[in-house]
Amino acid sequence: MRLSAEELSGERGGEMVFSDVSFALCAGDALVVSGPNGSGKSTLLRIVAGLLPAAGGRLSFDATESFPTLASACHYLGHQNAMKTALTVAENLGFWRDFLGTPLNPVDDALEQVGLGGLGHLPYAVLSTGQKRRAAIARLLVAHRPVWLLDEPTAGLDAASEARFGELMAAHRRDGGIVIGATHLPLGLEGAGELRMGET
Ligand SMILES: Nc1ncnc2c1ncn2[C@@H]1O[C@H](COP(=O)(O)OP(=O)(O)OP(=O)(O)O)[C@@H](O)[C@H]1O
C-alpha cells in the first residue's frame, strides 16, 4: 500500500491555508502533522479523507478491490466524536460497524480494547469526556480501514488511555496500516515522519 501527496494545497472560505505539501507513506508508516492553530492540519486531514476538495496538487493511493478509492480506505477521527447521544455506546458502534461495511472486531471486543468493557449498555450521553473519546476510538476497531486519519486523537484521554491507544496504533501499523495524526501532543508513534504546517 502506498499513499502520497504531491504539492498539495488547501483552502477554506476562498483563502489559501497551505500549499506545497508533499509526503509519501507505505504500509506500516506514520506521519505526525504539527503546527500552530489555524495552520491547516485539520484541513489537510479532511482533504485526505475526501471530505474537502484539494485546491491543488495530487493525492495518490494504490486502489484495491476492497478499497477502490482513498476515501473508502480511510477512518477519519475528527474533533467531533460522531456518536448519537440518544443511542447506547454499543448501538453507536454497531451502527458504524454496519455502515462502514468492512467488519473487524465485534463491538464488545472493541470496547474491551479501549477500556470500556461492560459499558456498552450506557447511553453515549452519560459517558465522561475521555470515555466518549475512547468510544470514538473504538470505531476504528469495529471496521477495517487501512488508513487512520486522526485529528487530536488523544484530547481528553488520561495517561493510561493514551498508552493503550499508542498500542492500538502500533498494532494497526504492524498489520500494514497507515496512521496520519494531527496533534499538539506527543502521540508516541515510533519512527513516524513529521510534517510541520505553517512554516514557509
Ligand atoms: N469553514 C471554514 N470557512 C472559512 N475558514 C475556515 C473554515 N474552516 C476553517 N477555516 C480556517 O482555515 C484555517 C485552518 O483551519 P484548520 O482547522 O485546518 O487549522 P488547524 O491547524 O487544524 O488548527 P487547530 O490547531 O486550531 O486545530 C483557519 O484559519 C480557519 O479559521
Q: What is the pLDDT of residues 37-71, one digit of tens each?
A: 999 999 999 999 999 999 999 999 998 999 999 99
Ligand 1 binding pocket, CB closer than 6 Å? 12-13, 17, 35, 37-43
CA 111–ligand 1 middle distance (angstroms): 32
> Mean pLDDT of all residues in the chain?
95
Phi, psi of 47 (to 5 degrees): -70, -45
Closest listed residue to residue 151, CA positions, set 28, 41, 51? 41
Residue type, 58: R
Ligand 1 atom nearest residue 45's Cα: 18
Q: What is the pLDDT of residues 172-198, one digit of tens each?
A: 999 999 999 999 888 888 899 999 998
Nine cell digits for residue 179: 496512521
Beta bridge partners of 150: 77, 181
d(CA 143, CA 138): 9
Ligand 1 atom nearest residue 79's Cα: 27
Q: What sign for the dihedral angle of Cα 8, 10, 14, 16?
A: negative
With 60 as the cut, is the pLDDT of residue 87 above it? Answer: yes
The residue count of the chain comes to 200
Q: What sign for the dihedral angle of Cα 29, 154, 194, 45?
A: positive
- Please, what are the domains in the chain? 2-81+142-196 (3.40.50.300)
CA 62–ligand 1 middle distance (angstroms): 29
Q: What is the ipTM of this complex?
A: 0.96
Ligand 1 binding pocket mutation candidate from 8, 15, 41 (most atoms within 8 A of CB): 41
Helix and strand numbers (H, E) in the chain are: 5, 8
